[in-house]
Structure 1
Amino acid sequence: MEAGLESMGVSEAWKAHVGMALVQLFYGGYHVLTKVALNVGINQLVFCFYRDFLAFTIVAPLAFFLERRTRPPITKKLLMSFFFLGLTGIFGNQLLFLIGLSYTNPTYAAAVQPAIPVFTFLFTVIMGIEKVNLLRYEGVAKVGGTLICVSGAILMVFYRGPALIGDTEMDQVAQIKISARGQPEASRWLINGLLDLGFDNFQLGVIFLIGNCICMAAFLAIQAPLLKEYPANLSVTAYSFFFGVALMVVASLFMVNEPTDWILTQSEILAVVYAGTIASALNYGIVTWSNKILGPALVALYNPLQPAFSAFLSQIFLGTPIYLGSILGGSLIVAGLYIVTWASYKERQKSFGVTPNGSWVTEPLIHEKSAYQKIAGSSSVSSNPNSSD
């Protein structure tokens, strides 16, 4: 029986690894398609609204039927938490990403995303969810990895460097302000203010992308304790999309002035459908399922694949160049991510007293191993009537 469980665990682990690689590939495709839509001039709020509304129509019915018997009752405190999830993970996260992408390119947009786990670590430390012991080398490694990752993000803001792959003439759209149709009216004062401080358009885009990562990190940090109180994953996602869509509607009343902005072209419809079905609904489902099998440490390790896929796809379909700054800054971000992930892995390994059998690929969650060992031990004791306490 134990051999059968081990074989099943290996099979599920391999599926989860393949699934997480596909998630990063799907995100790479999302970056390219979205960049095309932004070049056409789609309004960013309109794009986010259509994307999130489509994702909500997919996730909400699934949550209603699949979790109707396990969903806890709603309280005012839970609704407030769902609101902040929608504000950070849906509204702020997606809108800042689109603004940042419009000023940069898919390669840079993807290269910043591996900073999300490190910013999440910072928020969890501030909230008391994560503990850091500076007297142990794991704690020092966590802090050091975080500083390396932040340094990489700062480097990407202030240093672009020469184009190593591709022609810079193909990236001229990154040097031009987004069109009046694509730029929300109420955000122009902030953008113009940052430009007055000496930032160019490309640096401004990276700043917005870092803001996108911070919003997503806040979303994950808020979500972690909430899922313990409200352990209905699909329902949490549905509520998050509901409040995100509601915020998009309210914001669009003040920031979308032209009725024609709501009319999409064929390429824009394709980008919205892909974003709502693949980048939102499908990717979240794969990540959630993989997280249960591999754990957050292994899931986070797949984020560095996203810049590679985005650079490859954007070079093929858009001809966008790859700059030295993106390679150097992205490398620091990836290095910091791996250091923090390794330190967290070693801490969990010591906390649960479980030593893995060698492979990251086939290893289930450490705490699940520990729990299985406890259950197996108690079952063997109870099945033997002659055993003593």
Structure 2
Amino acid sequence: MDGRSNKAHWAMAMVQLFAGGYHVITKVALNAGINQIVFCTYRNLLALFILAPVAYFFEKNRRQPITGRLLFSLFLLGFMGIFANQLLLLAGLCYTNPTYAAAMEPAIPILTFLLTLAMGIETLDLVKLEGKMKVGGILTCVAGATLMFVFRGPAVLASNNFEMYPVETNELPAALTATWLSSLRRFGFDQWHIGVFCLIGHCMCTAIYLALQGLILREFPANLSVTAFSCLFGSILLVVAGLFSTQNSADWSLIPSELLAVLYAGIVATALIYSLETWSNKILGPALVSMYNPLQPVASAFLSAIFLKSAIYLGSIIGGILIITGLYIVTWANYRERQAKKAVKAISDQRTDGATEPLLGRTSTSIT
């Protein structure tokens, strides 16, 4: 692979580590009682203040004119990838736990791959070895992440007990009972089911975001500007939702632990992660970028062991090995496809050059 592809792969691996840290830190902030919409609003406004000037100065000479169609597409990115995606993930974290939230991530590469096939971004030829490798790699990733969730096994690195499945209770933090999803409990849904529904919605929004972003980057390759515009529209929607959903100004005040979570979420989980993800999407494509999401259970388990004093179990280790193996298989399949396309293009170019070479030139060369 070329240098840019290698850097993009390393960037996506770091993204999953940062995302695992976000799950852990955010869960602590949510337990402290921070309002979900307020949290998302602060993190995206902070990220916007970082991304907007950087995108303006670095891409002002390379940015193409923005059409109405492009602006609407960027709005959809902000709605799917920022507004709906983040709120659904936070709600899922509130009602479940970081490990379960990370265990839902394997649905993202499957949904993204199906969307990119429908959009014509990716191709799948099951007759060829590369097509079979793609399917096999995706299924291996999903199997590894699923194994981490359903099979815990003995503790390899023992620490304090950590419950993968939280104990059902009617006692939730005050911020949760007043949130936009609390009304669902009146219809018989308990907190666990609400969390699962939200995490499924988060996976769907992420898949749509990555696939749509891949299409936009083909016509508008200014990746920093795409990220900044997404953050802008997402922030606008969150501010409007926050003004209508909060009851008083006290909801917007932060205690030190919440401020720390907002800083990490804004600088690392939004500005840095979204920028790296968009840049990698331009190089690798949405399907391969989404393949890194199953690494989040590995990162979440590792960071939970450090900061939440949980144990690392055998299932996490075996699942992590399967995830990395599946990711390598898909990466290798994509590499073989790109090499095959380059070879076909080179042969086609040679034939075209030979056909357009003047007949007199070929004859004179032969006589000489």
Task: Assess if the C-alpha contact under 8 Å between 1:105 and 1:320 holds in 2.
Answer: no
Q: Where does structure 1 lack aligned partners over 5 or more consecutive residues?
A: 1-5, 355-366, 379-385
One of 59, 67, 75 as aligned partner of 1:75: 67
Q: Which moved more, 1:12-21 or 1:47-56?
A: 12-21
Deviations 1:94-144 (A, max 9, x none): 111111112222223233334423321111122233233344444455456
The alpha-carbon deviation at position 169 of structure 1 amounts to: 6.4
Q: Determine the structure 2 residue equivalent to 1:126.
A: 118
Deviations 1:33-78 (A, max 9, x none): 1111011011111110000111111111112222222222222211
Q: Which moved more, 1:161-170 or 1:249-258?
A: 161-170
The alpha-carbon deviation at position 13 of structure 1 amounts to: 6.7
Q: Determine the structure 2 residue equivalent to 1:383.
A: none
Deviations 1:298-322 (A, max 9, x none): 7556544432222122122223466
Task: Assess if the C-alpha contact under 8 Å between 2:16 and 2:293 holds in 1.
Answer: yes
The alpha-carbon deviation at position 32 of structure 1 amounts to: 1.4
* Cα separation, 2, equivalents of 1:102 and 1:323: 24
Residue 173 of structure 2 corresponds to residue 179 of structure 1: yes
* Cα separation, 2, equivalents of 1:41 and 1:17: 36
One of 17, 33, 39 as aligned partner of 1:41: 33
Q: Which moved more, 1:263-272 or 1:241-250?
A: 241-250
Deviations 1:329-356 (A, max 9, x none): 88877776565555444433333339xx
Q: Determine the structure 2 residue equivalent to 1:246.
A: 236
* Cα separation, 2, equivalents of 1:50 and 1:107: 25
Paired residues for 1:1-389 under 5 Å: 18-143=10-135, 166-168=160-162, 175=169, 178-182=172-176, 185-190=179-184, 193=187, 196=189, 201-202=191-192, 204-289=194-279, 302-320=292-310, 340-353=330-343
Task: Assess if the C-alpha contact under 8 Å between 2:13 and 2:292 holds in 1.
Answer: yes
- TM-score, scaled relative to structure 2: 0.77
Task: Assess if the C-alpha contact under 8 Å between 2:43 and 2:263 holds in 1.
Answer: yes
SS of aligned partner of 1:313: helix
**How many pairs are equivalent?**
352
- Aligned letter for 1:233? N
Q: 1:179 to 1:230 in 2, by over 3 A?
A: same
* Cα separation, 2, equivalents of 1:163 and 1:103: 26
Task: Assess if the C-alpha contact under 8 Å between 2:130 and 2:337 holds in 1.
Answer: yes
* Cα separation, 2, equivalents of 1:341 and 1:18: 13
Q: 1:312 to 1:74 in 2, by over 3 A?
A: same
- TM-score, scaled relative to structure 1: 0.73
The alpha-carbon deviation at position 209 of structure 1 amounts to: 2.1
* Cα separation, 2, equivalents of 1:330 and 1:101: 21
- Aligned letter for 1:113? E
Q: Where does structure 2 lack aligned partners over 5 or more consecutive residues?
A: 354-360
Q: Determine the structure 1 residue equivalent to 2:357.
A: none
SS of aligned partner of 1:54: helix
* Cα separation, 1, equivalents of 2:219 and 2:343: 27
SS of aligned partner of 2:60: coil
Q: 1:133 to 1:192 in 2, by over 3 A?
A: farther
Q: 1:302 to 1:124 in 2, by over 3 A?
A: closer
Q: 1:29 to 1:75 in 2, by over 3 A?
A: same
Q: Which moved more, 1:72-81 or 1:19-28?
A: 19-28
Q: Which has the larger radius of gyration?
A: 2
SS of aligned partner of 1:118: helix
Task: Assess if the C-alpha contact under 8 Å between 1:175 and 1:202 holds in 2.
Answer: no
- Aligned letter for 1:256? T
SS of aligned partner of 1:281: helix
Deviations 1:285-306 (A, max 9, x none): 3444556667767755654443
Cα RMSD after superposing both structures: 4.1
